[in-house]
């Protein structure tokens, strides 16, 4: 078999959990164990488009993993999280700024920028997942990388919540983008909600989605 599967991942489910559910369903349907892989994970708190590959289609993973992505995110200004998202320990760090201050700093995040992925991520460090090391209280050093932000539009701002839509290159972390915006504004920030709506030309609202059971 060879299938490309589109999933709308719910919040609270890991990407690997989604893969496991799809593998179970396809294996039961085919009568034998079916190989299923992903083309880029989503954080557990995030929702949206996951592209999974089954059977011989798993060979396409390297090319699909490199595709650009579009996200809609809510950034909470004036607070920081130990993980950069709602799952960490959250503390107040400042006062949410005026809209004009936000508009003024957005341009510096467009184009090619340097970004340091979060310690709580699936990136491997010395053969281990960074988030596992971070949860164990170990210091995690991840080198910065060049990513590209093609567009970053403000959808709304009702302090302290800033809602954005951004089109980015593969490898861009929206949690880190949120934190960096907070640092530049001097108030701190974290990503409180995140949804991936598009991967290259694959738009979630126009795709036949796989029915993903709980």
**Candidates 43, 68, 103, 201; catalytic one:** 43
* Whole-number Å distance between alpha carbons of 77 and 68: 26
Q: CB 32: neighbour CB atoms within 10 A? A: 9
* Whole-number Å distance between alpha carbons of 172 and 44: 16
Look up residue 134 and give its two tokens: 């971070």
Cβ(36)–Cβ(52) below 8 Å: yes
Cα-Cα-Cα-Cα dihedral sign, residues 187, 162, 10, 123:
negative
Whether 43 is catalytic: yes
Please list the active-site residues. Answer: 43
């Amino acid at each position: 078999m060879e299938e490309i599967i589109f999933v709308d991942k719910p919040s609270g489910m890991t990407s690997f959990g989604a893969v496991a559910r799809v593998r179970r369903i396809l294996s039961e349907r085919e009568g034998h164990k079916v190989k299923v892989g992903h083309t880029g994970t989503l954080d557990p708190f995030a929702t949206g488009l996951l592209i999974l590959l089954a059977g011989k289609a798993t060979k396409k993973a390297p090319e699909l993993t490199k595709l650009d992505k579009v996200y809609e995110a809510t950034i909470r200004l004036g607070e920081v999280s130990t993980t950069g998202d709602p799952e960490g320990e959250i503390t107040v760090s400042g006062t949410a700024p005026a809209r004009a201050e936000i508009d003024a700093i957005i341009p510096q995040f467009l184009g090619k920028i340097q970004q340091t992925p979060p310690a709580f991520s699936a990136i491997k460090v010395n053969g281990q997942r960074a988030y596992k090391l971070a949860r164990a209280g170990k210091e995690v050093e991840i080198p910065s990388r060049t990513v590209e932000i093609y567009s970053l539009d403000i959808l709304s701002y009702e302090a302290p919540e800033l809602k954005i839509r951004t089109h980015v290159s593969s490898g861009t972390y929206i949690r880190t983008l949120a934190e960096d915006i907070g640092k530049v504004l001097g108030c701190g920030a974290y990503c409180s909600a995140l949804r991936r709506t598009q991967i290259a030309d694959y738009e979630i609202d126009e795709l036949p989605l796989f029915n993903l059971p709980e």
